Structure 1
Amino acid sequence: ANSKCTPVRTGYWASPLSYAAMSQSLYESHSGFPYKAQADHYDLCSQSNVSSVFADVNSSIQQIIVPHTYKYWPITSTDGVIDTQPGKIRVYKSTGNGAPVEMPASTWDYLPNPGNQNTRILPTVGEPTNRAHLIEFTSGNHITYPDCVSISTSSNLEYFGYIAIPKIPKMDSIVIKINGAQIPASGWTFMSAEGSQNINIKVAHNGYPSTPPVMRSGYMFKLTSSHYYKSGDNVEVFYVPASN
């Protein structure tokens, strides 16, 4: 608001006049408002009801939402190992209040996060993320607000080639079963030295190159390549300890 009440102000005290000039210039530059002699500024000395002083100012303020566009979207469900085989990652886009619709696999790619990756590309580049897994949308399929994305994943299966037990067994007493099926004696080798072992292995037909180690300690049975087991399998070892 501006006051022209006497005495006339000069110098620093004249700054309201600059505000008035700026306000009127902004008002007149907008084609949507009718002409008004004192647009957006008022002489408070002539106002009987100051509650309406900012009515025109408030009416000239319009809400503007700048749509943000994203090329990358973090998979937030986990930073651990996920199954990246076809069909194991699914991406859904929601538009407005509509139900999520699955995006074709041709519209996006899986990307391990190379580091501090910026996810937004418009109106400016930004919103970095350190999540381990990202979705990269192909050209023409970037996500723009208010559209939203949800992602479903499956944990990667892990494959194991060793079984740990706490004591040395009597060799003739050993029975090993995987999911209820007994493994023949030719399917395993006992490693007599106690130690720590990464029991995780890569299986040629279904391995995952970035599977992290799974360490176990104790006395180990090493399984042959045709008798490995995977996460979720039931493994049982029956034996009589060689000594108490």
Structure 2
Amino acid sequence: MNWTSALVEKKVVKDTPYDEDLFGVASDRGAHLEMLEYWLDKEFWDFDRGYCQFEGASEGHCILAGIEPENSKSTNEQYGPAFLPASIEFYGYSKITAEEQWRLKDAIDRRISDLKSLGLRGRVSCHHALDMCSQYKLDPPWLDVAQNDFECAKRLPPKLRTNNKITQRISKVASSKGGSNRAKKDPKSKILDTIVREEFEKLRQNGFHERGLRTKDGRPNATAIANKIYHVLSKDIEDSEDYFPKLTTFESRIRKWLENSIK
């Protein structure tokens, strides 16, 4: 799937002061699923209340409750979670209205309270967190979707992969990457380590001061930086699309560079 088809412009309803689209609608294959893939690709999730949290819930608890913490936001008037795939439906909605938003908040708060009872703290292996949820019957709302998507399923703990066709495909791909193939440098990694890094350093040297490249609290916005670099480079490499990293790969690598730059 071409990555541009996964980026959907948000539309604001003009005849109402309440932005219902803040909450999204019933999820499908696209940007939401790529965001889930991004979180599953991490080795650890943070279960302490650091900078990446939403309404007092940690990064890890949000993800397990079906909430994407980095794009969620709230004000005194609006409760604004961003949902991972199938999660809004899990709480009984296809979209959220102004009148229903606080009932939604109560439902999510109860779910997060249940997840906190697992006792996960600090940086926890994503696989361990998912194993704990499975053990105590607190599977994430998005688990079924992840199990039936190849890119997400291969990032799940093996015992949570329930789609036989996908499991067989994962095994086949893994076995084909043995021997000398593992020693070869991935062309996509070369692109990331050279031209993408070069564009990243240009922006970093400028302090990421271009409009939209920082969050409201002044931190570099990895998503915005990845989008900008991707748009600049993809214009010139359309003929090599198969060898060009996905947008989610851009974002993952840029997050690592940002984390290393502040250590």
TM-score range, shorter chain: under 0.3
Instruction: Tell me which structure has the larger Cα radius of gyration.
Output: 1
More helix per residue: 2
More strand by share: 1
Q: Which has the higher contact order (CA 8 A, sep 6+)?
A: 1
TM-score by length of 2: 0.19
